[in-house]
Structures are given as C-alpha cells and as structure tokens.
Amino acid sequence: MAGTWKGRLEILGKTEVLVIGSGGAALRAALSAAEQGAAVIVLTKGVFGKSGATYCSVAEIGAFNVPDGAIDPEDTPDVFYQDIMDAALGMADPRLVRILADEAIEAKEYLERGGMQFARKKDGGYMGYRACFSSRARSHVVQNHFQPIMHTLLRLAAQSRISVMEHTAAVDLIVQDGACIGAYVLRDGTVQAVLAKSVILAAGGGSTLFRRNLYPDTITGDGYAMAWRAGARMENMEFLQAGIGLAWPQPNLFGNQLWQMMPRITNGEGERFLARYAGGAASEAEIISKKGGHFPFSTRDCSKYVEIAVQSEIRQGRPTPRGNVYLDFLEADFSEMFRRNPDFKEIWQLTYDRFRELGVDLYREKIEIACFAHAINGGVRIDAQGASTVPGLYAAGEIAAGPHGADRLGGNMALTCQVFGKRAGAAAAAYARAVGESCMRTETAERERERLRGFGSVSREMCRRLLEEAQETADRTLLIVRDQAGLQQFLKESDMWLEQLRTGDSADDRVPLEELLSLESRIITGRMIAMAALRRRESRGSHFRRDYPVADPAFAAPYGFSAADARQGGE
Ligand SMILES: Cc1cc2nc3c(=O)[nH]c(=O)nc-3n(C[C@H](O)[C@H](O)[C@H](O)COP(=O)(O)OP(=O)(O)OC[C@H]3O[C@@H](n4cnc5c(N)ncnc54)[C@H](O)[C@@H]3O)c2cc1C
C-alpha cells in the first residue's frame, strides 16, 4: 500500500510539545506551551492557521461568550456557570465549567492585548447578543466568523519560536508503554514520525461525516479516531449539534437571533407543515418563537419540531425541487422590530449583507433551508489541565469533552478553545519538562506499519461511493431523528465500509492514503456517535431517540467509553 515506509521509519522531527492542528485551540495551546519555554512543533493538515472551522467562514458572525457585564450589566461568571450547567442537563463536568466561567474574561483580554477587535456598535460599545441557551446577553460578536481570532493568534505565533509543519496530516498517535510519545504523520505521500515528550490533540471536530454540514473538508474526525485507537476515554459522543442552515446557493448557518422575526416555513407545495409534526402539542407560532432561544436542535422544548419537521418533510414529504424546504420573512415587520430593538438592527444588517453576498435577498425572497450537522459536544475526556486518560496526551478545542453537556451555549466553543487551549499548553509543557526522552522501538513502528498495510488499493470511484454512502446513512440515521434500527444499521453498514477499505477494488486510479484515512476517520467518528446514541435509550438535549422520546433519570450520567471497553464487549 502506498504511504507506508520502506526500511526504517524516518523521523521528521523531534520536539518537547507537539500540537496537532492549527485552529483556535491549537494555536492558543502552542502559544501557551511556548510561553512556558517549551520547544513546540505545530503540525497541520492543509494551510497553517487557515484549515479549520475557526478560520472557515460559514457564518457571518461568531459568538464568543464573556460574562464581563459589558453587554448585560447583570451578567457575572456565576450566572454564566449556572447557564452552562442548566444547558448541560447533567452531562458536563462542573469543575471544568467553573474554570470556563472564571477564565473567560482573561481569555478575551489576551486576544485584545494581541490586537483583536471584537465588533463594536455605532456608539462604540461592544456589539453583543443573547446566544443559544443563555439567560443573559454575553456573546461578544466576532465579524466574519472567527477569522479575527485566527489573525491575532497567527500574529502572536509569528513572534514566538513555534515551528510549523503544514500540509502534514497526523495519521496516528505513537503510544509506547502506555504513554503518547509523538505522532505518525503523512507528508508528501510518505509516513514518517514526529517524536515528542507530550502531544496536544487539537484537530477539531468531525462533522463532514454528514453530507449536510457546515464544516471545512479538512475536518474529518481524525482526532477522534486517533484518540480512540490510542485508547483514550471518549465521552458524550451522542451530543452532536445540528440545526437549520441555508441550503442553497451555499450553506450558511441560520443564527438563533433570526427566529425572532417569526419566519414562515413552507414545503415544495407552499404548505405550512410545522404544526402537523407537533400533533397538537404546540402551535406553529409557539414552535418558531421557542426556536429563537437556540440555533441547535434540542429536545428540551417545542422548538424541536422545527428540525424534526424539516428533516422529515425533506425525506418523506414534499420538498422543493432541490430537496430542501422554504423559509421566508415576507410577512415580517422589520421596522417595528428595529424600533423595539435597535441592537438587533445592527446584527441583522451583518446577516442581511452576508446572505446578499451569497445570492439571496432576505427581505424579498424565499430561501431554501435544511438541517446541517454542526459541532460535536463530546470527544476526548479531559481533566482541568486538558489531560486525556493516556499519559502524555492532551486535548483542546472541539475535540475535547467535559466542558459541554447535552446542550451547549452558543459562543462557548470558541471560548473553550482559548481557555482549555491555554491550560493544555501549559500542562503539556510542564509534563514535557518532567519526563525523560523516550526511544521509539522498532516493534512500536511495526504495529503501525501493519495497520496501514491493511488498507487495500481503493479506486477514486470506490472511495467516492463509500463516502457518499457513509454520509447519506449518517444523515438518515444519526442526524436529528435517531432510533434503534437506524443506529444499528449505521453500525452494520460501517462494518462493511471498513471492510471494503481493506479489500479495495484493485483499480489503477487508486486514491492516496490520506483520503482513505480521512474516510476511515469519518466512519469511526460515526460509529462512536452511533454506539453512544444506541446506549442512551432516552432523549436529552441534542440527542433525540424517536423510540425513547423523553428524558430518563436512569441515564443521568455522562457516558464514557474507550476502545478497550469495546474490545471487552462493553459496547
Ligand atoms: C458555521 C459555524 C459557526 C460556528 N459558530 C460558532 C459560534 O458562534 N461560537 C462558537 O463558540 N463556536 C462556533 N462554532 C464552532 C467553532 O467554530 C468550532 O467548534 C471551533 O472553531 C473549533 O476549533 P478547534 O480549534 O477545536 O478546531 P478547528 O478550528 O476546526 O481546527 C482544527 C485543525 O486541525 C487540523 N487537522 C485536522 N485533522 C488533522 C490531522 N489529521 N493532522 C493534522 N492536522 C489536522 C485542521 O487542519 C485544523 O487546522 C461554529 C462552527 C461553524 C462551522
């Protein structure tokens, strides 16, 4: 199989702290480790700093939560803490939530000291709003999604002594004697090793597992798959955020603040169908006004019928010719809303301009919407220092689990990247100072060579077909509406996709190893979601089981698991 190595495994680099990824969490972690005096290598798939969800702009604004009272004077870290815990429905770690609430202000100040500008209103005050699941307005607005955060961190990184390896994908973590000592990486088609005393996994989420998603193509769940194979404990994988987005001409998030305008949703035949799916439990007006409380789907209130109805109407009902449903503001009274809420007017203008750029006029046209996969709230279980259960392995950012629960406040993910990125960087540097250098043994590398040799020769056509099948099945069985039969079907079919990646089809136009690995990572991420969702026989927050539609106190604790549990038949 192309991509494995001949003879001895080449060592591409050696460092104290290796950071995998170059998004918001990775760069904050790298800066923090470098600030502690550690030698740091950042390695990343794609272009340095421009390849992840933090940089990618599929939303006009990003929300960054800071309980500094600048937007609502009544807000405090204590109120923020309580909001996170209420949203989490028992699934977040209170210690990590306390840290997040207490260190948010410092995270914002660090970025501002680095030159970052949060959006301001015409009167000079911070622009802000009450984001999903929040009781107070505390989301500071970052214009152009989170690009200003990335520009700031990239500028700071350029002034530090961080080494960068771009267009270099981590393939697996090197685990020897139970500890993580680096990563196997794929560069220019060859697998090599980067050795480190500690490793910070900050490879982002995995939502391109779904056909309808808001993520850049680089975000394929590699981090979850690598951590899983390394034996790390995973948690809360069933809590995946998904919600309504613009489906055409280009995907874009449809923020919760827009639902205040009470848009109308219709199917391909012009019928208003939401109330039909609620079966008398709520009126259309009640459903839509609740949706203003949060962008992601949640079973906590009657807004759930928006996504359930949209997803079902597209699958079994009367979709638009492009396979979506319509949404419009044609009957909305904007002047009245702007008079009542001048702050909304400024944020609305950012959205309106963005949708104009994408080719739709929100005042005058029906737009097409559908359900899209968003961030994953679970992942590698971390402690207060960002440490995973594997010695030497840390995690930060979307990939890390613990600070979020069944529902997550909008504006908390970007913040978590900064708060726990900083902590993971400092702790990984301290760990690196404390341990001696490990010498990688031949048999360690041989295990990885055997694994990679297991891939067959897969043609471009076969790879495309498997990806399509996996994404279609994930949309159908894991996104929004789940049930036992669908989850079992995902697991069964994923066994076959993984098997086909091993057998291949021996065609001439074989795809490079990196593409096979990205596909495998997506499938493994989907398997973790399915396994966790199958076990959680209830509905809670973002996790909805059609066959168990209400919350059950028997499932009131987070569900964690590792590859070892699965091998022992725990799954
Ligand atoms: C449309 C949209 C809107 C959002 N809005 C908000 C919001 O308003 N507020 C909020 O808090 N959050 C929001 N989020 C979520 C948030 O943006 C992301 O969860 C967060 O930016 C993830 O940051 P990260 O640093 O963990 O990962 P990313 O920024 O995704 O970076 C991951 C990095 O890992 C690299 N990588 C991946 N695999 C490998 C590999 N195998 N080897 C090497 N490198 C690898 C990637 O190239 C990338 O550099 C939004 C997300 C989207 C998509």
Assess whether pLDDT exceeds 50 at residue 271.
yes
Which run of H or E residues covers position 453?
A: helix 442-453
Distance of CA 37 to the CA centre of its chain: 30
Domain end marker among 373, 407, 425: 373
Which run of H or E residues covers position 549?
A: none
Contacts 24+ apart (CB under 8 A), 338-345: 341/260, 343/121, 343/127, 343/128, 343/129, 344/129, 344/257, 344/260
Residues 250 and 307 in one domain: yes
Give 166 or 255, the one with higher predicted confidence: 166
pTM of the model: 0.96
Assess whether pLDDT exceeds 80 at residue 4.
no
Structural domains of the chain, count: 2
pLDDT value at position 571?
Answer: 46
- Protein residue with its CA nearest to atom 51 in ligand 1: 53
Residues 205 and 136 in one domain: yes
Provide the residue range defining the domain that includes 431. 1-239+377-571
The chain-wide mean pLDDT, for the chain, equals 95
Residues 11 and 83 in one domain: yes
In angstroms, what is the span from residue 568 Cα to ligand 1's centroid? 33
Peptide bond into 249 cis (omega under 30): yes
- Residue 355 maps to which CATH number? 3.90.700.10
Residues 40 and 133 in one domain: yes
What is the pLDDT averaged over residues 203-219? Answer: 96
- Protein residue with its CA nearest to atom 20 in ligand 1: 54
First to last CA, the chain: 31
Which run of H or E residues covers position 261?
A: none
Which of 118, 130, 145, 174 to probe ligand 1 with, by most ligand atoms within 8 A of CB?
145
Residue 123's pLDDT band, with cuts at 50, 70 and 90, is: very high
Assess whether pLDDT exceeds 60 at residue 65.
yes
SS3 241: strand
In angstroms, what is the span from residue 110 Cα to ligand 1's centroid? 20
Residues 472 and 393 in one domain: yes
Residues 212 and 331 in one domain: no
pLDDT value at position 3?
Answer: 59
Alpha-carbon span 195 to 181, nearest angstrom: 6
In angstroms, what is the span from residue 87 Cα to ligand 1's centroid? 21
Which residue ranges have their beta carbon within 6 Å of ligand 1?
20-26, 43-46, 51-54, 58-59, 62-63, 146, 169-170, 202-205, 214-215, 218-219, 222, 253, 375, 397-399, 410-414, 417
What is the pLDDT averaged over residues 31-59? Answer: 94
Assess whether pLDDT exceeds 90 at residue 255.
no
Quick one: CA torsion of 249, 254, 260, 261, rounded to 10 degrees?
Answer: 0
Domain end marker among 373, 408, 436: 373
Residues 386 and 361 in one domain: no
Give 381 or 564, the one with higher predicted confidence: 381
Structure tokens at 440: 């990688």
pLDDT value at position 322?
Answer: 97
- Residue 396 maps to which CATH number? 3.50.50.60
Residues 233 and 249 in one domain: no
Alpha-carbon span 28 to 41, nearest angstrom: 13
Assess whether pLDDT exceeds 90 at residue 186.
yes
Structure tokens at 319: 């979709």
Percent of the chain with pLDDT over 90: 88
What is the pLDDT averaged over residues 176-182? Answer: 97
pLDDT value at position 569?
Answer: 54
Residues 37 and 127 in one domain: yes
Assess whether pLDDT exceeds 60 at residue 1.
no
Domain end marker among 373, 404, 433: 373
Residues 365 and 429 in one domain: no
pLDDT value at position 90?
Answer: 98
**263 Ramachandran zone, left/alpha/beta (phi>0; psi -120 to 50):** beta
Residues 217 and 298 in one domain: no
Residue 205's pLDDT band, with cuts at 50, 70 and 90, is: very high
pLDDT value at position 567?
Answer: 67
Residues 319 and 214 in one domain: no
pLDDT value at position 497?
Answer: 98
Alpha-carbon span 114 to 94, nearest angstrom: 30
Which of 219, 246, 372, 419 to probe ligand 1 with, by most ligand atoms within 8 A of CB?
219
| pLDDT tens digit sequence for 492-533 | 999 999 999 999 997 788 999 999 999 999 999 999 999 999
Residue 438's pLDDT band, with cuts at 50, 70 and 90, is: confident
